[in-house]
Amino acid sequence: MSAGSGAALEAVRYGASELARAGAVLSVDLDAVRANYRLLGAQAPRAACAAVLKADAYGLGMERVAPALAREGCRVFFTAHVAEGMRLRQLVPEHCAIYVLHGPPPGTAPDFYQYDLIPVLNDPGQLREWRAAARQLGRRLPAAIQLDTGMSRMGMAPAELAAESAKPDWLSGLDLKLVMSHLACADEAGHPMNAGQRRRFERLREVFPGVPASLANSSGVFLGPAFHYDLLRPGAALYGINPQPDQPNPLRQAVQLAARIVQVREIAEGAAVGYGARWVAPGPRRIATIALGYADGWLRSLSGRGQAFVDGVAAPFAGTVSMDSITLDVSGLPAERVAPGRLVDLLCAQQDLDAVARDAGSIGYELLTRLGGRFHRRYLGA
């Protein structure tokens, strides 16, 4: 997104009316997502690479991201909720597998077999529910089992697994496709949890000889071959978030964001800007108000810390982030570059998701998944 392009050029590129109405423009680069998928898969040539599309493909839009990844050769997808899986089923070819991480909420078994979804069974209750569904239906039903190897969030605890697997018919009616676990600290390569979880996974999965295994999320992919098993499960890295925060990001940014200038004003020394009058002009200043705020996912914690870019030049946030607007100090910029109606960049070459998230005291995941519904969305590539 070039903030430098004129309104006429923008009209040609994006269609005048939609863009003219939009407070902010989110560009999603599907070619970048596809390139990231290839790069992740290449880290583990002997494993298959799935894609995690929960939360509307981390906010990028499942409708466009899923078919792009399927075209890139992705055959296995994960969602969190069954409803997400049902939506995804309409978007990818029939032969693609769709796993639902939260498993089947009580009473939803018919959704799973009607939409050909595979539940990840996380506890003895879900296991029981799924066995009952198979019995009722009179055929074997596909399933994955998640094991808790130390995160205490989802998956069967070692004691539960021991108790369940002692029962002779504990997997009856189930066609077990995958055994998986999830890493708590994969983004810290040196963290002792990683080796510990892997050891526990090794031990627990002995109960499932011959069943394909999966442990690595995005960051786990970069922990080395011992973590790859049969299936990688990256989400964030597909969308450009750095899986190794202490190293240069090998992935391409998949989103760009630009917001429109609503108003520009000159203020005198001592004038206050924004809620709480927390920012006071240290001299004569030019302030530009842009049409983006915390309701759009630009976190309020960026007040006084964030910045936008005008043709590559930084314009710091002045004052608190409002619900629908943010005030920028654009005093250093030529007036014609900050005229009302022009776009300024929030996610761009100068500032990626991880950088903004750091300023906000958050992580790229949170920022990305909160990007709001009011943006004009453009999809590039694929």
Interface positions with ligand PLP (CB under 6 A): 52, 54, 101, 182, 217-218, 233-237
Q: Which residue has the tokens 């605890």?
A: 157
CB of 183 to ligand PLP, least distance (A): 8
Residue 275 annotated to the active site:
yes
Residue 177 annotated among the catalytic residues of the structure: no
| Closest CB 334 distance from ligand PLP, rounded Å | 41
Least separation in angstroms between residue 326's CB and ligand PLP is 28
Q: How far is the CB of 261 from ligand PLP (least distance, A)?
A: 34
Nearer to ligand PLP, 242 or 303 (CB): 242
Catalytic residue among 54, 99, 229, 294: 54
23 vs 234 by CB, closer to ligand PLP: 234
Q: Which of 113, 115, 275, 379 is catalytic?
A: 275
Q: CB 54 → ligand PLP: shortest distance, Å?
A: 6
Residues marked active site are found at 54, 275
